[in-house]
Amino acid sequence: MVQMAVSPLPQWFEGSEYTHKVAVCVMKYGPISRITLAQILGLSQGAVSRITSDLIYAGVIEETPMPSGKAGKLPKGFVQKENTERRGRPQMGLRIIKNARSFVGMKINATHISAVAVNAIGQIITGCHDLEIEDTSPQTVVTLIKQLTIDCSDEAEMAGWPKPCAVGISLGGYVVDNAVVTFAPFMHWSQPVELSAMVREATGLPTGIYNDIDSLVVDACLFGSGVGLDSFAVLTFGAGVGYSLTVNGELVSCPDKSYGLVGHILVDPDGPRCVSGHKGCAQCLSDNSIAAEYSQIIGHPASFDDFARDARANKPQATNLVNRTCFRLGTMVATIANLAMPDKIMIAGESSFIAKFGIDDLRNGINMYRHSQAAPVDFEIPDHDWALWAKAAAAQAIRQYVG
Tell me how far apart the terminal alpha carbons of the chain are, to the nearest angstrom: 23
Judge if 245 and 339 occupy the same domain: yes
Judge if 115 and 181 occupy the same domain: yes
Judge if 115 and 86 occupy the same domain: no
Question: For position 2, what pLDDT does the model report?
Answer: 38
Beta pairing partners, 180? 176
Judge if 60 and 180 occupy the same domain: no
Does residue 307 fall inside a structural domain?
yes
**How many domains, the chain?**
3
What is the rounded distance in angstroms from the CA atom of residue 219 to the CA atom of residue 392? 5
Judge if 368 and 344 occupy the same domain: yes
End position of a domain, from candidates 69, 96, 123: 96
For 213, phi then psi, to 5°, come to: -70, -40
Does residue 5 fall inside a structural domain?
no
Give the domain extent around 148. Answer: 102-218+387-402
Task: Give the model confidence (pLDDT) of 20-29 as tens digits.
Answer: 999 999 999 9
The confidence band for 4, taking pLDDT boundaries of 50, 70 and 90, is very low
Does residue 156 fall inside a structural domain?
yes
Does residue 303 fall inside a structural domain?
yes
Whether residue 350 is predicted with pLDDT greater than 90 in this model: the reply is yes
The confidence band for 89, taking pLDDT boundaries of 50, 70 and 90, is low
Task: Give the model confidence (pLDDT) of 135-193 as tens digits.
Answer: 999 999 999 999 999 999 999 999 999 999 999 999 999 999 999 999 999 999 989 99
User: Could you tell me which of 122, 9, 119, 13 has the C-alpha nearest to residue 59?
Assistant: 13
Question: For position 68, what pLDDT does the model report?
Answer: 67
What percentage of the chain reaches a pLDDT higher than 70?
95
Question: For position 262, what pLDDT does the model report?
Answer: 87
The confidence band for 88, taking pLDDT boundaries of 50, 70 and 90, is low
What is the CATH number for 83? 1.10.10.10
Judge if 286 and 203 occupy the same domain: no
Judge if 359 and 267 occupy the same domain: yes
Does residue 362 fall inside a structural domain?
yes
Does residue 301 fall inside a structural domain?
yes
Beta pairing partners, 244? 234
Judge if 251 and 370 occupy the same domain: yes
Average pLDDT, integer, range 300-320 = 98
The secondary structure of the chain, three-state, reads: CCCCCCCCCCCCCCCCHHHHHHHHHHHHHCCECHHHHHHHHCCCHHHHHHHHHHHHHCCCEEEEECCCCCCCCCCCCCCCCCCCCCCCCCCEEEEECCCCCEEEEEEECCCEEEEEEEECCCCECCCCEEEECCCCCHHHHHHHHHHHHHHHHHHHHHCCCCCCCEEEEEECCEEECCCEEEECCCCCCCCCECHHHHHHHHHCCCEEEEEHHHHHHHHHHHHCCCCCCCEEEEEEECCCEEEEEEECCEECCCCCHHHCHHHHCECCCCCCECCCCCECEHHHHCHHHHHHHHHHHHCCCCCHHHHHHHHHCCCHHHHHHHHHHHHHHHHHHHHHHHHHCCCEEEEECCCCHHHHHCHHHHHHHHHHCCCCCCCCCCEECCCCCHHHHHHHHHHHHHHHHHC
Average pLDDT, integer, range 86-114 = 89
Does residue 11 fall inside a structural domain?
no
Judge if 90 and 106 occupy the same domain: no
Question: For position 70, what pLDDT does the model report?
Answer: 60
Task: Give the model confidence (pLDDT) of 356-400 as tens digits.
Answer: 999 999 999 999 999 999 999 999 999 999 999 999 999 999 999
End position of a domain, from candidates 37, 72, 96: 96
Q: Please count the residues of the chain.
A: 403
Average pLDDT, integer, range 214-223 = 97
Average pLDDT, integer, range 221-247 = 96
What is the rounded distance in angstroms from the CA atom of residue 180 to the CA atom of residue 354? 34
Whether residue 32 is predicted with pLDDT greater than 50 in this model: the reply is yes
Judge if 169 and 308 occupy the same domain: no
Q: Which residue has the higher pLDDT, 108 or 91?
A: 108
Average pLDDT, integer, range 40-47 = 96
Give the least confident one: 3-17, 243-257, 311-325: 3-17
Judge if 267 and 369 occupy the same domain: yes
What is the CATH number for 267? 3.30.420.40
Judge if 234 and 363 occupy the same domain: yes
Q: Which residue has the higher pLDDT, 124 or 88?
A: 124
**Mean per-residue pLDDT of the chain:** 93
Does residue 337 fall inside a structural domain?
yes
